[in-house]
Amino acid sequence: MRQALAALGLIAALAVAPLGAVRAQGFEDDRLFPAAGPEQGRLAILSTTDTEVFAPVLQGFQDANPGIALRYTVTGSADLYALLAADAPAGFDLAISSAMDLQMKLANDGLALPHALAQPAALPRWARWQDRLFAFTQEPVGILLSRAALGDLPPPRSRQDLIALMRDHPERFDRRIGTYDPRASGAGYLFAAQDARLSDTFWRLAEQMGGLHPRLYSGTADMIADLAAGELTLAYNVLGSYAAPRVADRPDILLIEPQDHTLTLLRTALIPRGAARPDLASAFIDYLLSSAGRTALRDGAGLPPVDGAALARAPHHRAIRLDPGLLVFLDPLQRQRFIAEWSAALLQP
């Protein structure tokens, strides 16, 4: 309860905290959380995770480190990558992103500093890459569906079921499907590429959606909002960690994990090569993987911590592993071919 009240207090403070001058640079949010005591240091975090979602985690870190002020800046995954890939002083000590492939490329290109985990056993080897990239959540990627669209029909359990549902009842889905635009979203490109890697069914699904004039989005939050408002019938590839709390009190909306495979995103952190305070960034990573940090992630932010046992209990969950295979779809020619094929399927006349 104390943690929940503290998080609510922090979120309330966000509403009145002034945005920094960097808002003019295109960042979505930029907040300074002063130290609770005399300031002993300042950690600058660049992140794709909404401030209100991550607030309990920031609060927990400051509870444990009352002399540390936090600057928390939110931007899109593609913009985060572009800023750090430039390898110019960016003013950030830690980068947190949902685009695992772009984070892997930063680390693989030598743009991340090493960090020796305080508790190496806290993180499975598939959830880290060398000593430069560290996963701290595992988040299923699911489907949101309006119950009204189903009527008396059973909910789809797989992509094959969803294809049949849209094929047999197109009037329920025409111009009412939302999905990521991989041209604009790093996470959206990652999800589409991994879907295609795991199953040819993705392309049949993409063509079926394309014939129904889908609406394209750059983030999960807007898809959820539009479906909750009744503007969409279906939202494909939404982050379950964002969707579940927003539809928990909406019995008219289903959150479905496809049984053929449910992609499971690993949200990752790295220390940019130009970090001014890599020591504080290291401390934050260790906090994320600690017992206190995992509790703040799970109970405060609603982000499931990395848990190999949980994956074993849900074999349809397919974790996107941190390995160089993520870089295959970032090859410029491979990306160009993939986007061309995706466009032919989704952007039908």
Give per-10-residue mean pLDDT for the chain (349 aa). 40 38 62 94 95 96 98 91 86 94 95 95 91 96 93 93 96 96 89 92 96 93 93 95 88 95 96 96 98 96 92 89 88 94 91
Q: How many CB atoms lie within 10 A of CB 240?
A: 23
DSSP SS3 for 223: helix
CB burial of residue 87 (10 Å; 0-12, 13-18, 19+): middle
Distance in angstroms (rounded) separating the CA atoms of residues 99 and 77: 6
DSSP SS3 for 232: coil
pLDDT of residue 46: 97
Distance in angstroms (rounded) separating the CA atoms of residues 304 and 270: 19
pLDDT of residue 264: 95
CB 289 within 8 A of CB 119: yes
CB 238 within 8 A of CB 247: no
pLDDT of residue 76: 85
**Which positions ≥6 away from 51 have C-beta within 8 Å?**
14, 29, 31, 72, 74
pLDDT of residue 20: 41
For residue 103, give the nearest of 124, 115, 85, 87 by alpha carbon: 85
* Per-residue three-class SS string for 250-300: CCCEEEECCCCCEEEEEEEEEEECCCCCHHHHHHHHHHHHCHHHHHHHHHH
**How many residues does this entry show for the chain?**
349
pLDDT of residue 26: 63
DSSP SS3 for 26: coil
Domains and CATH numbers, the chain: 2-138+265-321 (3.40.190.10), 139-263+327-346 (3.40.190.10)
Q: Are strands 94-97 and 133-146 parallel, antiparallel or unpaired?
A: unpaired
CA-to-CA separations, 208 to 36, 152, 215, 310, 348, in angstroms, rounded: 54, 22, 14, 33, 10
pLDDT of residue 4: 40
Query: For 26, left (φ over 0), alpha (ψ -120 to 50), or beta?
Result: left
Across-strand partners of 272? 112
CB 212 within 8 A of CB 346: no
pTM of the model: 0.84
Distance in angstroms (rounded) separating the CA atoms of residues 48 and 79: 9
Q: How many CB atoms lie within 10 A of CB 135?
A: 26
pLDDT of residue 247: 87
pLDDT of residue 267: 96
pLDDT of residue 9: 42
Buried b / exposed e over 278-300, threshold 16 CB at 10 Å, is bebbbbbbbbbbbeebbebbbeb
CA-to-CA separations, 71 to 34, 36, 58, 94, 270, in angstroms, rounded: 8, 14, 10, 10, 16
Buried b / exposed e over 319-334, threshold 16 CB at 10 Å, is bbbbeeebeebbeeee
Element (H, E) at 112: strand 112-113
